[in-house]
A and B are shown apart, each in its own frame.
Chain A
Amino acid sequence: MIEPPASDFNNSVIFNIVIMVEYCIEVINVWKRYVVREGFRKRRVVEALRGVSFNVKSCTIHALLGPNGAGKTTLVKILSTIILPDSGTARIKGYDVVKDSDSVRKIIGVVLDISKGFYQSMSGLENLIFYGILKGMSKRDATKRAKEVLELVGLDETAYRRPYYTYSLGMRAKISIAKALMTDPDILILDEPTLGLDVESARMIRELLMKLSREGKTILITGHNMHEIESISNYITIIDKGRVIAIGTPEELKIRLGLTTKIELKLRKPDSKVIQEIQRELNTIRIDSNNDRIIIYVKGKREDIMNRLIELLRNGSVDVLDLKLSESTLEDAYLAAIGRES
């Protein structure tokens, strides 16, 4: 993570050029508060973002993870120039999202809520043409480009000529991604683009995103599907309660959060002495129990852990019904990060 330099240098052309080379998106100490109205007079202040800072490297897929209400969508809206931050700076390719919003809008494509955001009575094609013209394209160019991107996301002519309200969620997601690609932007900002999709549609979108990344596009994606995020992301930022709590590659996060091996153990008769022994002898980070299963997160090599564990269980003379050792997943790392924070 790059530390923001002194303010004069921070605004200098040289600094911006240097940053532009490596980082496509920079978020520096961004704060955002909402005033939520509850009833006619009652108001409540919600701190959606509390000093969020992170950077996104060019030509990578960077995932933004966090539980519901963590501030992901707010951050996406700020980077998309839709809403303004209260304080802090966010730059895309060196352009400030507040001061240079017009320049930012030219180089980004955005997907927000995939279930809406389009005119219901217009077809997918017509919605995209409208968006293209709004972005400064001629009607002819917008029509041509809309057809190209609709084919790219896998929608045929009979589908995209139907009114939007008849679309399934999968088709709506595809239209949303097609809209983001309309102006062939360098940077894609996607808020939960596969939320609620069937396996086939989600896989198609994953493959498309990876293809776009290989072609040189920078993608910032939010989501809840850990398997999906782990399979496509180069970098991950985990945010919770409006703050960044971990940044790194999926592997780095797993190691940094101390999760390398996950032991799932099922005993005929749970013996607390044996469990305590395992906890003491192995480099244990956390123990969870799930019904009659005991889940132990341990640092160290899988083979060493296996041998030592078998030895401990033998010495304890316990009946083992099931024993499973697996590499910890991003989901484990995520849960550890969120759990640690709360």
Chain B
Amino acid sequence: MKFLNIVKALVYREFIFIRNNIGEYVVLSFISIFFAISIIGIAISVGGTSKFIHRFIQIFQVSNNISLSKIVAALISLSGLLSIVADIVGSVSQIVIYEINFTEVIYMIAQSVDLYLYYMAYALVSGIISSIVSTIYLIPTLLIVSNLSGLFTYLILLPIFIITGIALAYYTLIISLPVALILNVKRPWIISQVFVPAIIAGTGIFIPINFVPIFIRILAYTTPLPEICIILQNLLLKNTIVKSMIIIFVILLTLYISTSVVVSLKSDKYIRRGL
């Protein structure tokens, strides 16, 4: 019951935040679409459409009869990951640090519920809601690019986006809580400024991860993004499911959730000892 009350309160709060920050989501959507389209546009402008498709087939090792519209749809779909990473890493880290070190809302929560339950519920709710809201722009975009099949593509991708969002939210929670409590960081945007570009650059997203230099991949490998990227790239471009990556992702998700439980419990104790 307690967990459910926390979830309900968090759902209410998240929708208020989304309503208040709707402009940010619009900007995030445009940047993500722009990024995906500009990659294709630049490549085509350099060598022409047929050369681009030929090179794309070589890089991703996909079938020869892939069309340009399918490539565009696939890259736009992959841009959803950009929005998810930017939104979830940014919002989870900022909320956690703001609640503890700025607004002291943590006291309102601490006098109402157990803090470890709150943090576990927050990562779950934020992961689900943010991944839906930050990728919702894909519905009209994919409808324009691929008609109704674009909508079906989004519906297939949505559960993957949600599970990615949840994993990323727990991952960010594990980092943000010690940063807020032990390092006493006063500038919450530090985490998103460092982690978001590092994760995105390390994952590649629009290119196979083995094309990314190994030293850039290091941080990305601590996240679920490389596995999800491979799963999505294969699903979108080859219509295949990479079972090994799914297994690795499930192991990672379990690890994030169990580590989050430990970190949340420790943070609860730490806060109750007195900040």
Chain A residues with CB under 8 Å of chain B are 32, 34, 37, 48, 74, 77, 80-84, 102, 105, 108, 110, 112-113, 116-122, 126, 129-131, 133-136, 139, 163, 179
Contact = CB atoms under 8 A, between A and B. Distances in A.
Given A130-B9, A135-B5, A105 B111 contact: yes
Interface string B29-51: 00000000000000000000000
A121 B20 CA distance: 7
Contacts of A105: 111-113
Nearest to A37: B184
Interface stretch (B101-109, B153-161, B214-222): B101-109
24 contacts: A37-B184, A77-B274, A80-B107, A80-B111, A82-B107, A82-B111, A83-B272, A83-B274, A84-B273, A105-B111, A110-B111, A113-B107, A117-B104, A117-B105, A118-B108, A119-B103, A130-B13, A131-B9, A133-B5, A134-B9, A134-B112, A135-B5, A136-B5, A139-B8
B273 to A, nearest CB: 7
A34 B274 contact: yes
Q: For A80, A81, A131, A133, which residue has the most chain B Cβ atoms within 10 angstroms?
A: A133
Interface of B: 1-2, 5-6, 8-9, 12-13, 16-17, 20-21, 102-105, 107-113, 184, 271-274
Contacts of A116: 102-105
Given A84-B273, A131-B112, A112 B20 contact: no
Contacts of B105: 116-119
A119 B107 contact: no
A102 B1 CA distance: 12
A119 B99 CA distance: 8
Contact of A32 (B6, B113, B274): B274
Contacts of A130: 9, 12-13, 16
Q: For B102, B109, B111, B272, which residue has the most chain A Cβ atoms within 10 angstroms?
A: B111
Nearest to A129: B12
A117 B103 contact: yes
A116 B273 CA distance: 21
Nearest to A102: B2
Contact of A121 (B17, B109, B110): B17
B111 A119 contact: no
A122 B98 CA distance: 14
Contacts of A179: 108
Contacts of B102: 116
A122 B18 CA distance: 11
Q: For B13, B20, B112, B113, which residue has the most chain A Cβ atoms within 10 angstroms?
A: B112
Given A82-B272, A133-B12, A134-B113, A120 B103 contact: yes
Nearest to A74: B274
B104 A113 contact: yes
Nearest to B99: A119
Contact of B112 (A34, A118, A135): A135
Contacts of A131: 9, 108, 112
A135 B16 CA distance: 18
A112 B107 contact: yes
Given A77-B107, A82-B272, A102-B2, 14 more contacts: A37-B184, A83-B273, A105-B113, A116-B103, A116-B105, A117-B108, A118-B105, A120-B103, A121-B20, A130-B9, A130-B13, A131-B112, A134-B6, A134-B113
Given A34-B274, A113-B104, A81 B5 contact: no
Contacts of B17: 121-122
A173 to B, nearest CB: 15
Contacts of A129: 12
A74 B102 CA distance: 19
Contacts of B113: 105, 134
A135 B108 CA distance: 10
A135 B6 CA distance: 8
B13 to A, nearest CB: 5
Contacts of A82: 107, 110-111, 272
B104 A112 contact: yes
B5 A134 contact: yes
A37 B12 CA distance: 37
B19 to A, nearest CB: 10
B9 A133 contact: yes
A189 to B, nearest CB: 9
A126 B103 contact: no
A129 B272 CA distance: 25
B95 to A, nearest CB: 9
Nearest to A86: B273
A190 to B, nearest CB: 13
B111 A133 contact: no
Contacts of B6: 134
A113 B17 CA distance: 23
Nearest first, the 8 closest Cβ-Cβ pairs linking A and B are A133-B9, A134-B9, A83-B274, A82-B110, A134-B112, A80-B111, A84-B272, A136-B5
A146 to B, nearest CB: 12
Contacts of A163: 20
A122 B16 contact: yes
A179 B107 CA distance: 12
Q: For B102, B107, B274, which residue has the most chain A Cβ atoms within 10 angstroms?
A: B274
B98 to A, nearest CB: 8
A95 B274 CA distance: 21
Contacts of B1: 136
B143 to A, nearest CB: 32
A163 B103 CA distance: 14
Contacts of A135: 5, 112
